[in-house]
């Protein structure tokens, strides 16, 4: 595919993220605490997470291995960072969550599959075939170095706070508690904050249109979800800390 056609498609895809952002001001994606049977057929949460996220790995691998660009150490590092995130999200996270008997609508899982297929396709095709700047010297570029530090920081926040949330729940329960300590004193959803930082870092270290598009998609998905979670906590826990923000410490 011509680079200009590819760029146009990624721009169009990014505009869709903004439309989804607007839609999510009115509709809350019904999984996790917002799950409902009104969206038709449901599947077990653990299976849902695996089905939703594993295509992001398969499609990415396909485009990396079949891509025509030179596979130097930089390409492998850029690819490995993405793969580390998705091995956690597709395999480790679903295996660790405590979701006894909880279900999510199949249609939500299928929408997430579509989202992952397109994002992974764009990122994989760019990294595997179209990129021209992932040379060995890119590893010394300030964009790469700063982006990598931000990416690792975001991933550490995301994984550690996901882990803390998972352990709030006793093994045989499906209830919720007020998370406390560390980042949770500042915001209700530090795991989403970490994920946004992480993909912001990835966009900087890649310095590419599909990586920026993916960052915007992540932002557009997680900001409305964090606001919904925050409202849910306030509604369900009368003693919920008043000073806590939803997503960005001291801001939102």
Q: Which residues contribute to the site for ligand NDP (CB under 6 A)?
A: 32-33, 97, 99, 102, 158, 162, 165-166, 168-169, 176-177, 179, 191-192, 195, 218, 221-222, 225
Q: Which DSSP string do the residues of 119-185 spell out, in sequence order?
A: HHHHHHHIIIII-S--SGGGGGSHHHHHHHHHHHHHHHHHHHHHHHHHHHS-TT--------SGGGG
Q: Among residues 64 and 90, whose Cβ is nearest to ligand NDP?
A: 90
Q: Among residues 139 and 165, whose Cβ is nearest to ligand NDP?
A: 165
- Non-local (6+) Cβ contacts of 114 within 8 A are none
Q: Whole-number minimum distance, CB 164 to ligand NDP, in Å?
A: 9
Q: Whole-number minimum distance, CB 12 to ligand NDP, in Å?
A: 18
Q: Whole-number minimum distance, CB 98 to ligand NDP, in Å?
A: 6
Q: Among residues 60 and 138, whose Cβ is nearest to ligand NDP?
A: 60
Q: Whole-number minimum distance, CB 179 to ligand NDP, in Å?
A: 5
Cα-only R_g, the chain: 19
DSSP bridge pairs for 104: 43
Per the CB < 8 A criterion, the answer to whether 17 and 213 are in contact is yes
Q: Among residues 3 and 180, whose Cβ is nearest to ligand NDP?
A: 180
């Amino acid at each position: 595919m011509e680079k200009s056609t590819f760029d146009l498609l990624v721009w169009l895809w990014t505009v869709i993220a903004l439309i989804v952002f607007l839609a999510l001001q009115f509709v809350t994606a019904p999984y996790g605490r917002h799950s409902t049977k009104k969206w038709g057929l449901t599947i077990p949460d653990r299976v849902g997470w695996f089905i939703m996220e594993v295509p992001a790995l398969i499609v990415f691998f396909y485009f990396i291995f079949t891509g025509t660009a030179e596979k130097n150490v930089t390409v492998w590092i850029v690819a490995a960072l993405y793969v580390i995130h998705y091995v956690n999200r597709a395999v480790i996270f679903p295996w660790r969550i405590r979701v006894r008997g909880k279900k999510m609508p199949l249609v939500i899982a299928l929408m997430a599959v579509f989202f992952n297929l397109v994002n992974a396709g764009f990122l994989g095709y760019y990294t595997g075939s179209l990129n021209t700047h992932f040379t060995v010297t890119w590893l010394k570029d300030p964009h790469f170095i700063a982006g990598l530090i931000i990416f690792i920081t975001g991933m550490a926040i995301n994984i550690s706070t996901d882990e803390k949330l998972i352990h709030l729940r006793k093994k045989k329960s499906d209830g919720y508690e007020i998370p406390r300590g560390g980042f949770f004193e500042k915001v209700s959803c530090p795991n989403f904050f970490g994920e946004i930082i992480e993909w912001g870092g990835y966009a900087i270290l890649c310095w590419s249109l599909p990586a920026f598009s993916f960052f915007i998609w992540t932002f557009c998905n997680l900001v409305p979800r964090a606001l919904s979670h925050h409202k849910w906590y306030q509604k369900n826990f009368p003693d919920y800390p008043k000073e806590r923000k939803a997503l960005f410490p001291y801001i939102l």
